Amino acid sequence: MEESENLTEIKSLLEKFTNAHGISGFEHDIRELLKKELEPYVDTVRRDCMGNLIAVKEGEGPSIMLAAHMDEIGLMVRYIDDNGFLRFVGIGGWFDQTLLNQRVVVHGKNGSIPGVIGSKPPHVMKDEDRKKPVKLDDMFIDIGAKDREDAENLGIEIGTTASLDREFVSLANGKVTSKAFDDRAGLVILIEVMKRLSKHKIKANLFAVGTVQEEVGLKGAKTCAFGVCPNIALALDTTIPGDHPGITKIDSSLELGKGPVITVADASGRGLLVHPQILKWLKETAAENKIPYQLGVGSGGTTDATSIHLTKEGIPTGTVSIATRYIHSPVEVLDTADIEACVSLIVKAVENVGRYF
Active site residues: 214
**Preceding peptide of 137 cis, ω within 30°:** no
HEC assignment per residue over 117-180: EECCCHHHCCHHHHCCCCCHHHCEEECCCCCHHHHHHCCCCCCCEEEECCCCEECCCCEEEECC
Angle at which helices 181-197 and 3-19 pack, to 10 degrees? 130
Across 40-61, b (16+ Cβ under 10 Å) vs e yields ebbeebeebebbbbbbbbebee
Q: What's the alpha-carbon Rg for the chain, to the nearest Å? A: 21
- Strands 175-178, 205-211: pairing is unpaired
Distance of alpha carbon 31 from alpha carbon 234, whole angstroms: 19
The answer to whether 202 and 351 are in contact (CB under 8 A) is: yes
The answer to whether 59 and 202 are in contact (CB under 8 A) is: yes
Burial class (CB in 10 A: 0-12, 13-18, 19+), 133: exposed
